[in-house]
Structure 1
Amino acid sequence: MKRTLSYTITNKNKADTIGAFLRDAGYSRRILIELKQNPEQICLNGTPSWLNTPLQIGDTLTLFLPDEPVSSDILPVNLPIDIVYEDEDLIILNKAAGMPVHPSQGHHENTLANALAYRFASRGEHFVFRAVNRLDRDTTGLLLIAKHKISGAFLSAMTAKKEIRREYLAIVAGKPEESGTIDLPIARKDGSTIERCIDMDHGEHAVTHYRCLDYRDDLGCSLVRLRLETGRTHQIRVHMKAIGHPLLGDFLYNPDYRFIGRQALHSYTVAFRHPITGEAMEFTAPMPEDFSFFY
């Protein structure tokens, strides 16, 4: 989608060139190369300029981001989605259970990407699908989407620096300790394209912090709040199984469907600084209806 970004140069940036200013602002090398190759996207005080153009106090630097080619492999489909927040740079959605995020084999027309493609096509806007975080098909809750390449690059860098806080709610078997940290490496299980396991020799570093919020003795399960330091595939599901408290309803790691028909995992909170304005932002999604058996 098209986007215009403007910056006013202050004392702090007095000696900078445009390129140095943008590097200080967090623009990646890849984005700077794209801007260098397309100088018409850069204007200083209304005049097309280059990255090596010097800046003066009071200057106005404007970047014009053109429309990008629409993802041709994502079919627009009119599907219901729950938009929690949207501005020119990002979208926060509350994803429903059973909806995949990306098209894949067997899921070409029922994904979140299809729904967003339809939403933007109906408004006559170009849109490239950029999911910042990932949720399994049956996990509910908050998903962060970047609307253009600049916000996408900033949010990806924030993810790598662990500057985006993600917290989940899960209902697990048994009664875990009051709180704890699980630091166990995760790898793909031999012979499976989907399942993951703890692998001390070949696994990727993975850290999950948890706190037990409530325990139901009559149900034999607990409500747990979890915070991720890393984002490995199936991280919460594998880590909680590893300490003896797997998620209820998990078809891969604990197919106990007495109370819920999917893994009892909900992306509850996401907090970060806005990639363009720097404003502190925090969003929460209410617990899904199928968690109600616990109360």
Structure 2
Amino acid sequence: MLKTVRKGEWFHIIVPKEWEGTTVEEIFRQVWEAPKKLTHHFRTENKVLVNGSRINWNLPLTPGTTLQIQLFEDEDPQVIPYYYDIDILFEDDHVLVINKPPFMNTHPNNPLKDSNTLINAAAFYLQSKGEIRNIRQIHRLDQNTTGTILFAKHALAGAILDKMLEKRDIKRTYIAAVHGLLRQKKGTINKPIGRDRHHPTKRRVSPTGQEAITHYQLLKDDKNKQLSYMKCWLETGRTHQIRVHLSHLGHPIVGDTLYGGQPVILRQALHAAKLEFSHPMTKEKLVCHAPIIGQLDIFKNIDVYSI
């Protein structure tokens, strides 16, 4: 874990031993894997200093010196701030993890008109604290799915987390209640997912679709109600992935009428219970658990903190 501190608009990192001989250019492009355009912006705008002075980006760093990066300037928000009392699971100067409520979209379809989404609520929350930021969504959840969602507060954290998500270094674990009793207590569904040409929003397992991998494990079952409670974790993030895969397995999610579930509850019984990732700037290992929200009694006997 890196030694860091914020001072006003600047983020200070004490250069660690493992960065000895590494240049600032290499930190941005190889360690953080930041995009060329963003790296160019930090370099040309003089947003990186060492011990308070401008530096040659191609000279090696010395352990113990202070790398200073201007990360915390005000930005014009790209969405309309919208008041909603959000449930914060983790927050610092760089990232924000929210427990998403049901019946709410993650982001607006039209940023200039729509406002009642989670990212709009996050923008309002930050503004109310005096943080004028263009908050960045790292991944998403379906409208009727609850649980952990990760946001970045500035462009560099956003770029690092985007790359981590692409490399499958962010682990998302869900719980689901499904119809039927599982024959296999755990397994992996490796089936590509594509659009359903007969339905505008539905997806389906398709040989011409995109790679999709879902792992699952049984938590408990209810033989009287013929229900199974399982945890699932993803290697890919396709639209409706868990819903499609579990339906294909023959165990549609309770309440998920789009994919064969029975409407015994008001929405699909799917909750993003745990998020695990390394902090983009400090490398601290973070684990966020999301309590069940939205009066979803079907999960009342599941302890999300044991997932």
- TM-score (structure 1 length as normaliser): 0.91
Partner Cα separation in structure 2 for residue 56 and residue 291 of structure 1: 54
Letter in 2 for 1:194: T
Which residue is 1:292 aligned to? 297
Q: Offset of 1:255 from its aligned partner?
A: 4.8
Q: Per the alignment, in what secondary structure is the counterpart of residue 187 of structure 2?
A: strand
Q: Offset of 1:270 from its aligned partner?
A: 0.6
Structure 1 segment 41-56 matched on structure 2, within 5 A = 41-56=47-62
- Per the alignment, do residues 213 and 255 of structure 1 end up closer, same or farther by CA in structure 2, a change over 3 Å counting? closer
Q: Per the alignment, in what secondary structure is the counterpart of residue 97 of structure 2?
A: strand
Query: Does residue 240 in structure 1 map to residue 249 in structure 2?
Result: no
Query: Does residue 151 in structure 1 map to residue 161 in structure 2?
Result: no
Structure 1 segment 260-279 matched on structure 2, within 5 A = 260-279=265-284
Which residue is 2:305 aligned to? none
Q: Offset of 1:105 from its aligned partner?
A: 5.8
| Pick aligned residue for 2:206 from 191, 199, 211 | 199
Partner Cα separation in structure 2 for residue 14 and residue 213 of structure 1: 46
- Per the alignment, do residues 166 and 14 of structure 1 end up closer, same or farther by CA in structure 2, a change over 3 Å counting? closer
Contact kept in structure 2, 1:187 and 1:197, CA below 8 Å:
yes
Which residue is 2:4 aligned to? none
Deviation per residue, 1:157-209 (Å, 9 max, x gap): 11111111110000101012211110000001114331101111x10000001
Q: Offset of 1:33 from its aligned partner?
A: 1.7
Structure 1 segment 15-164 matched on structure 2, within 5 A = 15-30=21-36, 31-39=38-46, 41-65=47-71, 67=73, 69-72=75-78, 74-104=79-109, 108-164=114-170
Letter in 1 for 2:158: G
Deviation per residue, 1:194-228 (Å, 9 max, x gap): 1101111x100000011111111222211111011
Which has the larger displacement, 119-128 or 269-278? 119-128
Partner Cα separation in structure 2 for residue 204 and residue 192 of structure 1: 18
Q: Offset of 1:76 from its aligned partner?
A: 1.4
Which residue is 1:182 aligned to? 189
Gaps of 5+ in 2: 1-7, 302-307
Letter in 1 for 2:143: R
Q: Offset of 1:53 from its aligned partner?
A: 4.1
- TM-score (structure 2 length as normaliser): 0.87
- Per the alignment, do residues 59 and 238 of structure 1 end up closer, same or farther by CA in structure 2, a change over 3 Å counting? same
Letter in 2 for 1:180: G
Partner Cα separation in structure 1 for residue 195 and residue 40 of structure 2: 36
Contact kept in structure 2, 1:173 and 1:245, CA below 8 Å:
yes
- Per the alignment, do residues 50 and 109 of structure 1 end up closer, same or farther by CA in structure 2, a change over 3 Å counting? same
- Per the alignment, do residues 129 and 14 of structure 1 end up closer, same or farther by CA in structure 2, a change over 3 Å counting? closer
Partner Cα separation in structure 2 for residue 148 and residue 291 of structure 1: 34
Q: Offset of 1:141 from its aligned partner?
A: 0.6
- Per the alignment, do residues 22 and 239 of structure 1 end up closer, same or farther by CA in structure 2, a change over 3 Å counting? same
Which has the larger displacement, 249-258 or 135-144? 249-258
Gaps of 5+ in 1: none
Q: Per the alignment, in what secondary structure is the counterpart of residue 142 of structure 2?
A: coil
- Per the alignment, do residues 189 and 3 of structure 1 end up closer, same or farther by CA in structure 2, a change over 3 Å counting? farther
Partner Cα separation in structure 1 for residue 267 and residue 103 of structure 2: 9
Contact kept in structure 2, 1:36 and 1:50, CA below 8 Å:
no
C-alpha RMSD of matched pairs (Å): 2.1
- Per the alignment, do residues 3 and 101 of structure 1 end up closer, same or farther by CA in structure 2, a change over 3 Å counting? farther
Contact kept in structure 2, 1:42 and 1:50, CA below 8 Å:
no
Q: Offset of 1:3 from its aligned partner?
A: 4.6
Partner Cα separation in structure 2 for residue 11 and residue 96 of structure 1: 43
Partner Cα separation in structure 2 for residue 81 and residue 57 of structure 1: 41
- Per the alignment, do residues 57 and 116 of structure 1 end up closer, same or farther by CA in structure 2, a change over 3 Å counting? closer
- Per the alignment, do residues 173 and 11 of structure 1 end up closer, same or farther by CA in structure 2, a change over 3 Å counting? closer
Q: Offset of 1:127 from its aligned partner?
A: 1.5
Contact kept in structure 1, 2:76 and 2:134, CA below 8 Å:
yes
